[in-house]
Structure 1
Amino acid sequence: MSAKKFSVSFLFPGITLVLVVWGLSIQMMGVPPLGKFLNPFFGPQQNQRVVANPLAGTAMPGLLVTWDDREVPHVFGETDEALYYGQGFVTASQRMWQMDFLSYVAAGRLSEVLGEAYLDFDRYQRRQGILMAAETSLAFIEEHPETKAMLDAYTAGVNAHRDGLSYAEYPVEYKLLEYAPEPWTNLKSVLVMKYMAAQLSGYEEDLSASHLLATLGEDNFRTLYPNYRLTEEGQEPMLATFPRGMAFPEYLDYRFLEEDAVVNPSQYNPRLGSNSWAVSGAKTQSGNAILASDPHLNLTLPAIWLEIQLHGPDHNVYGVSIPGAPAVVIGFNSDLAWGVTNGATDVRDWYKLTLKEDLSAYEVDGEWVSVDKRVETFRVRHAETFTDTVYLTQYGPIVSDAQFTAVPEFQHMALRWGLHTPSNEYRALYGLNRAQNYDQFKASIQHFKSPVQNFTYADTEGHIALHHQGLVYQRGVGEGTFVLDGAESAELPQELPQDQLPFQLDPVQGFVANANNNPFTVSDSTYVGGYWSELRAATLRQNLSGLEASTVTDMQALQLDNTNAFAVRALPFLLSQLETSTGEAYAALKDWDGRYNASSQAAVYFDAWWDLIQYYAWDELFRLPHFFRTPDDVVQLTLMQQQPNHPLFDRLETEEVETAQEVIRKAWEVLLSETLPDSWGAENSVRFSHFTELEALGRSGFNPQGHPDALNALSENWGPTWRMVVEMTDEPQGVGLVAGGTTGNPVSPQYDQALEDWQAGRYFPLQRYPDAQAAQDAASAVWTSENP
């Protein structure tokens, strides 16, 4: 790995810096005073100091924290208050800046820290309704006494750590950006959860799809962007469109849409997802159920997760938490284990409005309906305070108007988003951490509404289950795929009843699995839109179907499987379309097994070839200002096989009329003329970025195996952030690894301690100690208050 650790030693080469430090200790032209940062008495050198027992003197009896040999914290609380106070204190000690910064991002407050350049971003966040949603959810959460008490204790723990810090001990980022940590609040913990909900449910294609439909016409749009899923026949995944097809709104034409609108790419990533599955004892060597979970999210430093054990008066749970949020999100306790994947369900709808010029009312069925108003205030660094009026409708907030033109494509449109609905995900996590059986698990997850998730389950009794869970809209066929007409009254989509959400319990095939695929089967009467990944899930199901006498090691191998099932399916057909069967590239691909191993040159050839095929196949789409994505790979391959003479394969820049075969051959010709890396490892460079985007605080130069369409799904900036496999023995045993270290301190050796192990696909035992004494006996450090 070519990555270099950020070390403070290079910042202090000699005593000659003293005068420079003094000269740079004032702020000039909005640039943070670097001198304070370089000062050895206040700067990052002070962040190397280790306090033996930071809990000493805190007024919280019954609290003990131990640290194991991988620097994982184990929190023991004799009461729930002590437990969550301890989790808050520990999390702040490791990730204070990260969790604080995420709350600023979600609330639309970056301009307070980074200045006027971020004001448009902040206004967009507020106009999407994220802060408003957090405030209404907090009120709902605090109506439940247990979740209010949990948040109160966590907040108190965070603030106890914060209040004990001097400037010299502030995390490095506060010094770089020249601001101080403010008191933590329960609202901040809700904002962190809303940030995650936005990341996982914020993607939608309504406006782009509307323009493409108007441009391509119904037949071409239906051909290129069908509502489909994969079914298996033998070992061959087959594309099957839903028999109900797609309904196209009559109003959708260029009288309704702005004809030349440029649709900007979404700020959200539709590829973020996960794998999670459970197998019953009938498929394992030991006869115990096994659960595996590996969420694929943005690769960041500090790591997105904090690995932790929480041992309270009535439960003992191990897994990963989100910095800023109490409880364990993915993990296992004494009786059961659970994992999650993103539901990928479409929960964002746009309504085009007819508004009065002063935005005081909008038209519905010829009648004017008054808007509500919400005034948002922004404290802007080195500038005057700014206020913004957000107009609210029955559908949701109006995101863009004459006063805010940063996203002009959404001018006079209202956003309805599932995360706006008040919800209490903390009640779900509180119950999950303590659940002792399937019924308690099921009752707990019903409180998890946003983002929509797929929960996998396994327990020590041998039961396995899978639930699609969250606020899912009950729609008419095709509803929500395109921009909706807000001027015509229609009943707003309601939440699908809990008993109509898909689930499986102890299925006859002996496994449950989800990899962000559509959980609704072809025969279901309910229409639900989404942005699903079908082929990876089909690969997972095929692998699990063939398992016998499997072990934890087999599950690890599945998580690390680098096979791109699409390449395996497509390659024989693509090669058959060529005129030649010779040459280095052809020979490499002919015998290739589809594995994206670091040493594979065939993987480089295939990836580049398919990119070129897409470029030449969809040249007319790439020219459109509202183009959003190429057709799904399986859809394109099926079209090439079944309709090779389709007019869309004709290239606009030539006089000849091309077929699919000629597109494939042209792409091959260009491929052979290019200079390509000699291995996938050289091509596949992965970076762990810091939120500041400062290179010294991130890590690069990683060249792992894997591919976005493999089970080991990763790209240049996202991938498996937590790998976990748990065998449900009498006392469940787990192995796993977080992509990153425990601490968020860039000058600590533990900041990136696990990245080499992550790249190598290593796993470590997850030490869920039965009691505090066992944890102390194995501890590398122990924290306790003076009044335990």
Structure 2
Amino acid sequence: MTRDTTRRAVLAAALAGGTGGLALSSAANLLDTFAPLSGEAWAAADRPRPETVPSPHGDAAVRVDEYGVPHVSADDETAAYFAVGYLQAYDRLFSMDLQRRLMRGRLSEAVGEATVESDEFHVAMGFAEAAEATWELVRETPAGPLVEAYAEGVNAAIDAEPLPLEFTLVGHEPRPWTPVDSMLMEKQISWTLTGDFSELRRALVADRLGADRAAALFPRRLDHDSPILDGDERRLGGREAGSAADEPPTSTSGAPPVDADLTAWLSGFESPTGVGSNSWVVAGEHTESGSPIVAYDPHLSLMAPPLWYEQHVETPERSVRGATFPGVPFVIAGANDRGTWSFTNVGADVLDCYRYEVDEAGERYRYDGEWRAFDTETETIPVSGGEDRELERKRTIHGPLIEREGRRVGVAWTGHTATRTTVAIDELGRSEGFDDALEATRKFDLPTQNLVYADADGRTMYYATGKLPIRRIDGEVVAGDRIFDGSAGEGEWSGFEPFGRSSWNGFVPFEEKPHAIDPDVLSTANQRVIDDPRHYVGVVYATPYRGSRIADRLEAAVDGDEPITPAFNRELQRDVRDGRAAQFVPDLVAAVAEADGGGDDASASSESASARAVDAAETLDAWEYRMAADSRAALVFARWLDRYRDRVFGQSFDAADLDETYYPNDWVLARLPDDDPLFDDRSRAAIMVAALEEALDEIDEAGWETYGDWNSTRAITHPFGGEAPFLNYEELPADGSPATVMNYRVDDAVGSSWRMVVRPGTDATAVIPGGNSGDYFSDHYDDQLRAWLANDQKAMSLDIEAVEADETVAFRGDSS
């Protein structure tokens, strides 16, 4: 039976059951009900790729390879990007429309009341207005006509092609695509990576637990020795890294917290938990070929279809291939015929929160010694099947004012102004070497990213991109990890114009951002950038588990006798050793050994260890700390760690009315001293044993045998997978954990969302978690899923003539 026949049978079964037949899960997160199904669903099931498409911009030829990757060639750039828009819309139109609706606050117009609160947040934040300001800037650059041509291509596909199945299920049609919508995708990506209200949570924790206790459990600087930079790297102009004397101290007390309910509500719209990435570069002197190698895997939300879309564009101005987000014309991370580039999240602090003195009517706020009226506008949020909502949007001199049930907080975010990131990405695609790439990097305003670059000339580079604010109180530079008094003008950003065009003259100069010119070996895994930064960057960095493991393995390889190959880098991307296990397991094994033998019926609250706990400890003692899908020990450790974390933090945090989202990270948990107040009258060993008994209960009840029984691809779902489960991917066992290089986080559906290994100017490989098509009936809906699980990367050739086409599309100009 063919895959197409199988999928048609699945749809037929769903249709036979009517709308109710689709509502098979209570895990729905977007839809309350589907629109009535009709024969239109069958039209969506029959969407052959067109053989020819008329184009107002001239000819373009497209070869679609065996993995559904389009390879576009054209003599004119606008013709190429008209084709790119058409092809992205053909493959991913529903994803594009969904993200656009999310950021505009228009989800409820399509799916009903379930998403009203999301719409209220996104309208209040003004992402759409920020995108409009960005387009006004971008349209004046060489990228502008290409973005316009791309939008025309999207709209041509909307007009000419049957709509994907999801539009039939939801019962709405997409509006025309605009260049502003593509800028909105830039804002969406940036918000996903930098939207962070951690200062609100820090203030709340300090209020509930006390400043000293909060400082101990949530240190601003984790005590490890694995930063990205060691401070001795060569910088622009040959200067060394700046002294820590210039960095402002972080906050130790701060203002009282914003209301806990408002803080919790805002936290629901932040960057997803666990978002991160790996990247590294090895200079040619250490590689087998003599050419540098860049390896990259960004850890973002995993879903069906994937976040990323692979494409290849060749014109007289560029030959670039790699991954982009649907809705974005240009390759974001990838390679051209001269260089390669990748991005991981810095964790920089580019969002500040403000308190204001507000009058009793709530219509004015005090600023600079006088009362000012809020910039106010009423907006309507359409709600399908329900009553439309009216939202009064308010803004201050710093940016949006977020209000909810009488509580309010002001927000400043670097994405709220016109940004040039689209221009930077366009220029990277056309770059011909180091100088071009460096100049493009200057324009990368948002998000703050660790750029890792290498080129065919052997040049390498690391740069912390994005605009970094400098804050002051009474003329003194301060860190941004606090809530500022907006009425007093504390911490405001000089040179920043919300929803306009900023001069950025009060931000960290480009030459003073952390960077390294021509590093030999350098890796990033979201850990802190440098121990002693010249300027404040932030405090929200990842634990060092991934960073330390990558650095250790690269150092060992460089010190070894064998030069480094692309195959070594792909194998390193598959590394599943969990540094947390190395910290916890010896103590757990010792705790079980010291416990009395209480028999199989030992209580989970007892200090005794049951026979099954002793067996589990023996399994863990022989384990190599690898989070492999076929490992019993990995299963026991993963389920034990969750139980142990709850038992250590739960009692104290519950008493302070702080839920598990406020728990300290695992690095802090592993290094708690025996006399920490969290242990109170309980010993660490007793808690460890009790948590193990509880974990074994869970494992037995669920019937799990190995790690992959629990750690599976069940987390990778379609946005409508709760209502239409057939849209989800197959459930398969997966390797990896939140702390391993091969990153997979089954609890929050985050992991390696794209992997590539590139030798610039020569060869490259890549894979995505699923398939390049968002069409459920396409062979390319999930054809890379198993390869992604194994990190079996396919070739990513830049030779368009060598591409074997499974399909072709001819875009014909008016004169053709």
Matched, 1:621 2:631: no
Q: Does the C-alpha gap of structure 1 residues 221 and 148 become closer, same or farther in structure 2, counting only changes over 3 Å?
A: same
Matched, 1:540 2:550: yes
Structure 1 residues 326-725: aligned runs within 5 Å = 326-364=329-367, 367-383=370-386, 385-401=388-404, 405=405, 411-475=407-471, 479-493=479-493, 494-507=506-519, 510-522=520-532, 524=534, 526=536, 528-548=538-558, 549-580=563-594, 583-618=614-649, 619-627=651-659, 628-640=661-673, 644-650=674-680, 657-671=681-695, 675-676=699-700, 677-686=704-713, 687-693=715-721, 694-716=724-746, 717-725=749-757
1:79 to 76, 81, 87: 76
Tell me the CA shift for residue 44 of structure 1: 3.0
Give the conservation status (yes or no) of the 8 Å contact 2:636–2:696.
no
Residue 159 of structure 1 is matched in structure 2 by 155
Tell me the CA shift for residue 658 of structure 1: 2.8
Counterpart AA for 2:41? G
Give RMSD over aligned pairs.
Answer: 3.0
1:755 to 773, 785, 798: 785
Structure 1 residues 121-200: aligned runs within 5 Å = 121-144=118-141, 146-165=142-161, 169-200=162-193
Mapped partners of 1:257, 1:454: distance in 2: 31
Residue 36 of structure 2 is matched in structure 1 by 34
Tell me the CA shift for residue 89 of structure 1: 1.2
Matched, 1:63 2:60: yes
Counterpart AA for 1:719? G
Q: Does the C-alpha gap of structure 1 residues 129 and 45 become closer, same or farther in structure 2, counting only changes over 3 Å?
A: closer
Mapped partners of 1:5, 1:573: distance in 2: 54
Counterpart AA for 2:719? F
Counterpart AA for 2:729? R
Across the two proteins, how many residue pairs are aligned to each other? 737
Mapped partners of 1:604, 1:248: distance in 2: 40
Counterpart AA for 1:197? S
Give the conservation status (yes or no) of the 8 Å contact 1:6–1:696.
no
Tell me the CA shift for residue 318 of structure 1: 0.8
Counterpart AA for 2:456? T
Counterpart AA for 2:196? Y
Mapped partners of 1:498, 1:233: distance in 2: 24
Mapped partners of 1:150, 1:15: distance in 2: 41
Q: Does the C-alpha gap of structure 1 residues 414 and 17 become closer, same or farther in structure 2, counting only changes over 3 Å?
A: closer
Q: Does the C-alpha gap of structure 1 residues 466 and 632 become closer, same or farther in structure 2, counting only changes over 3 Å?
A: same
TM-score, length-scaled by structure 2:
0.85
The sequence identity of aligned pairs, in percent, is 26
Mapped partners of 1:14, 1:184: distance in 2: 31
Mapped partners of 1:478, 1:126: distance in 2: 31
Mapped partners of 1:16, 1:428: distance in 2: 50
Paired residue secondary structure (2:557)? coil
TM-score, length-scaled by structure 1:
0.87
Residue 654 of structure 1 is matched in structure 2 by none
Give the conservation status (yes or no) of the 8 Å contact 1:4–1:699.
no
Mapped partners of 2:66, 2:783: distance in 1: 12
Tell me the CA shift for residue 120 of structure 1: 2.5
Runs (4+) off by over 6 Å? 3-6, 13-18, 242-246, 259-262
Q: Does the C-alpha gap of structure 1 residues 550 and 13 become closer, same or farther in structure 2, counting only changes over 3 Å?
A: closer
Counterpart AA for 1:154? Y
Q: Does the C-alpha gap of structure 1 residues 439 and 10 become closer, same or farther in structure 2, counting only changes over 3 Å?
A: closer
Give the conservation status (yes or no) of the 8 Å contact 2:463–2:514.
yes
Tell me the CA shift for residue 524 of structure 1: 3.9
Matched, 1:214 2:207: yes
Q: Does the C-alpha gap of structure 1 residues 696 and 14 become closer, same or farther in structure 2, counting only changes over 3 Å?
A: closer
Structure 1 residues 245-284: aligned runs within 5 Å = 247-248=250-251, 252-253=255-256, 258=259, 263-264=264-265, 265-267=267-269, 268-284=271-287
Mapped partners of 1:696, 1:588: distance in 2: 38
Residue 95 of structure 1 is matched in structure 2 by 92
Structure 1 residues 5-44: aligned runs within 5 Å = 7-12=7-12, 33-36=35-38, 39=39, 42-44=40-42
Counterpart AA for 2:419? S
- Which segment is superposed worse, 319-328 or 373-382? 373-382
Gaps of 5+ in 2: 22-30, 231-243, 494-505, 596-610
Counterpart AA for 2:687? V
Gaps of 5+ in 1: 22-28, 651-656
Give the conservation status (yes or no) of the 8 Å contact 2:300–2:753.
yes
Mapped partners of 2:802, 2:262: distance in 1: 64
Paired residue secondary structure (1:74)? strand
Mapped partners of 1:17, 1:269: distance in 2: 35
Q: Deviations over 1:80-127 (max 9, x none)?
A: 111111111111111112112211111111122112443332111111
